[in-house]
Amino acid sequence: MTFDAALLRPWRLPPNRVKRFYRGGRLLDEFRGVPDPADSERPEDWLGSSTRAWTPPGEERSDDGLGDAEIDGRRHRIADLLEADPAAIAGAGLVSVAGTTVGVLVKLLDAGVRLPVHVHPSRAFARTRLGSFFGKAEAWLIQGTRHLDTDGPGVWIGFRRDVGREELLDVVETQDTERLLAAMHRRPTRPGDVWLIPPGLPHAIGAGVFMVEIQEPSDFSIVVETRDVPIDPAHAHLGVGWDVAIDAVDRASRDEAWIDALRHDDGREIVEGPGWRRWPGSLTEAAIDRVFDAAVDRFFRAERLTVAGKARPGFGPPTYLVGVVTGGAGRIRAGSGDLSVRRGDTFAVPAAALADLEIEADRTLELIACLPPDPARLATEEP
């Protein structure tokens, strides 16, 4: 396609529901304002996505996951816009390092059941074994919960003790789910929590948890637990075999303090400017613990903003931005156009329009701004 400069403006992101192996989505529907919300086989909404859902090796590649931008009432596939002018959409700095990619994947995800224990690979593993520049670090910004089991909403993260390579291979072979879960930390979770999940860390999202998920732009999951889960065990290791996949798993013992340091709440200090408030930085600055301080912004960035009046927040070098409106109503202005938004809406701003981004609200507008990693950090750091 020929790229039209008039497209350099805020884009409305219509729902892009993706079929998964689990059910959920009722809280997502409620957030989006869908009449008669209900759980379904499409519990995830991939926002502004240029990432395809994973397909097993040898199968025809699916377009599931690829999202659209709605601009002046017309829909454009974001992957096509990106292909037409990568620098205008994603930013020349990111493209020069990572290729034709927007550099981030943002989801609305509502689990109606407990997800199985799984692991996402590091960049090093993904580059060596999966032919991908990106692995899959992720973070969960909890937006809502519902009680669907006796223990209430929660998450499983990391091992409580060292788990040997052969022991984990045996768990995979026997599908001893009880032994697997008993070896993991479980934490209750609530709206306002932010969980950072580094690559390789085994984890599972519990039933009744609705989140904004920010992650590297891939769909790689090594699924350790397949018992009673509609996943073909032959696909659970991403086609590389368990002798290889098992080495992507962080099997080390993590103590209580290490796990607790992965969680952050809304009690952070607020930095104020004319007409707006910014929680310092985002996941990068929110992750005060040095374990994450050097790691997070090389994977993705995010900021929560509350705007009352007009704000020109500024996000550094030109890059792609995905916004999730979590409260109130207002307008997003950038490039050649503007967009009215309210709670439940999602939008994107291409890199070439980001510098003059302005956010306006007569009363209050609350949003989460999600961005790809800092290209400078990406260019200089080892995977």
Query: 241-289: per-residue pLDDT in tens?
Result: 999 999 999 999 999 999 998 986 544 455 566 665 665 544 433 222 2
* CA dist., res. 150 & res. 175, Å (int): 23
Per-residue pLDDT tens for 141-184?
999 999 998 999 999 999 999 999 999 999 999 999 999 999 99
Q: Which residue has the higher pLDDT, 281 or 309?
A: 309
pLDDT for residue 275: 66
The yes/no answer on whether domain 5-264 falls in CATH 2.60.120.10 is: yes
Per-residue pLDDT tens for 55-71?
988 888 889 999 999 99
pLDDT for residue 273: 63
**CA of 367: how far to CAs of 109, 143, 194, in Å?**
17, 12, 15
When the pLDDT of each residue in the chain is averaged and rounded to a whole number, the result is 90
Q: Which of 164, 109, 117, 169 is nearest to 141 (CA)?
A: 109
pLDDT for residue 276: 58
Residue with token string 């690829």: 66
Please state the rounded mean pLDDT for residues 187-204.
Answer: 94
Residue with token string 């006796």: 150
User: Where exactly are the structural domains of the chain?
Assistant: 5-264, 271-380
* CA dist., res. 145 & res. 123, Å (int): 31
Model confidence, pTM = 0.93
The token pair that represents 4 in the structure block: 């039209």
> Is 271-380 the same fold as 5-264?
yes
* The architecture CATH gives domain 271-380: Sandwich (2.60)
E strand spans, 165-240: 184-188, 194-197, 203-205, 209-215, 222-223
pLDDT for residue 282: 42
